[in-house]
Amino acid sequence: MNAVRVLRVMVVVCVVTTLFPTEDFLWAAGGDMGAGTEPLTDGSEAYPWLIEDFADFQVFANVANAAIYWAAGVHTRLMCDLDLDPVLPGRVIYTTAVIAPFMTISFAGHLDGDGHNISNLTVNNVQSCLGLFGSINNGAVNRLGLVNINICCSAPSSGKEYPYHGGLCGINNGLISNCFVTGSVVGEGNSIFIGGFCGRNYGQIENCFSTTCVIGLYALGGLCGSNDGVIINCYAKGSVTGAGNSRCFGGLCGRNNGYHAIITNCYATGYIAEGVNSADFGGFCGYQQDGQMGNCFWDMDTSLKTVGYNLDDFSPGIINNVVGKTTFEMQLPDTFLMAGWDFVGDDGDPADWKMRAKPYYPILNWQRDVYGDVAFDGVVNLADVALMAGQWMLTAADGGYLERCDLLDDDVIDGGDLAVLAGYWLYPEITGDFDDESGVNLADFAMLSSAWQAVPSDPSYLPVCNLNDSGASEGIIDLADLAIFCEHWLEN
């Protein structure tokens, strides 16, 4: 049997093992929160509660169990991806936040997402504090992804206001790190303080991002509706739309409010749309009073905003190097290096950011460009298998161990990691997906159009749109690039 056939057999076996695991690899079921997997499980940092299936998640999210799983000092780890699509058996459209739905009962524990995703969460009701978490108070959430969430507060347009809505949480007064959210958060009528990631932040949000689209009336942001705490090393790429008479909305944050409000080393690229009689909106932050913002950027081309923020007349706070850039400038490493952003990982401190070889915006260092692409060549192929083979059965304690080959993050490179790689076999970067949103669509066509006939010396030139890298038309955005773009239309 030749090497190619052996590889094919290995890939097929890994895929089958992944899709149809044997009994030895099945997670415990029935809502035992890991007791069937690890008898010493007690909610401590060493032996956290384990969410191994949807039944466990229901136990964890039940408000009747708040004293057990949401209390200070209690640790829980998510061990699997969860799909909360309401069309699936046992799932629902939630009418409150899923966890800690009321300000009177907050989440004070520690949830480690362990790199897993919760997808298709849907929440819809006239209620304050909507999101996965309603209120986080002195708690911590890290390494968690929320994919394709749909949060809507369907409040009336007059009377009582319903505040604090976000993809991950309504209110945060804890620490959230290494998390992301995609989807939409919509506040109808008198819904206020709305963020793609967090409605109102009193705590700290670091190394997180959101591509969530946000719609509402007051204090709206692609990442956070209102920041009264600290936001560091974060970015937002979703659109922010203010309704008629809306106020205080921006690409990253709607309001930066108070002496303790600090935003640093962040950027925003989302389109900002104002309604009739809207006020105090900007490409980065809608309104600042007494806060501080430093070394931050917004994309003037994609946001269609040359104004990045508005300052209070009497208490403007501090602004230090908060600058609007073109898309071309936003995809240059020097833009961020000159502002002191950390792209260096060999200085004794792990890097916060990285940039891909092609012209792209910065992404957080913990993000994988293409899952399984351990060789970093933009596609999961034989080069990745070869690199992983050279690392076979190495542990984190061994010399030469490459952490990026440990796709399961379990400190050993083995068949489990190969199975993950096989599941993404030949998964490529998408030619023509200029805005890096995993699909070739009208947004990318708009970018191509904006750079039409531009050459490198033109301000409107976008290197990422120059798909044709050979021939007489190289160096100009023209029909040769459009032809390649059309070949990949609607790929995702």
| pLDDT at residue 270 greater than cutoff 50 | yes
CA–CA separation, 237 vs 377, rounded Å? Answer: 25
Banded model confidence at residue 27, pLDDT cuts 50, 70, 90: very low
Tokens 């970067």, residue? 429
pLDDT level of residue 1 (50, 70, 90 thresholds): very low
Higher pLDDT, 120 or 360: 120
What is the topology classification, in CATH, of domain 81-337?
Pectate Lyase C-like (2.160.20)
191-222: string of b/e by CB count within 10 Å (b at 16+)?
Answer: bbbbbbbbbbbbbbbbbbbbbbbbbbbbbbbb
What's the residue count for the chain? 492
Report the C-alpha gap between 133 and 395 in whole angstroms.
Answer: 36
Express each pLDDT in 62-117 by its tens digit.
999 999 999 999 999 999 999 999 999 999 999 999 999 987 899 999 999 999 99
Model pLDDT for residues 299-338, shown as the tens digit of each residue: 999 999 999 999 999 999 999 999 999 999 999 999 999 9
- Mean pLDDT along residues 128-150: 96
* Higher pLDDT pick, 19 / 406: 406
Element (H, E) at 443: helix 442-450
What is the reported pLDDT for 492? 59
User: Mean per-residue pLDDT for 165-177?
Assistant: 98
Is the pLDDT reported for residue 471 higher than 70?
no
- On the question of pLDDT at 360 being above 70, the answer is yes
Instruction: Show the tokens assigned to 260.
Output: 């303790």
d(CA 116, CA 103): 26
Crossing angle of the two packed helices 3-19 and 415-423, in degrees rounded to 10: 90
**Which range has the worst mean pLDDT, 24-33, 101-110, 398-407, 465-474?**
24-33
| pLDDT computed for residue 232 by the predictor | 98
Share of the chain above pLDDT 90, in %: 60
Residue 402, pLDDT above cutoff 80: no
For domain 1-27+369-428, the CATH superfamily is Dockerin domain (1.10.1330.10)
pLDDT at 159: 79
pTM, two decimals, is 0.73
Please, what is the average pLDDT of the chain? 85
Q: Which residues of 65-74 are buried (b: 16+ CB within 10 A; e: fewer)?
A: ebebbbeeeb
Domain range annotation of the chain: 1-27+369-428, 81-337, 442-487
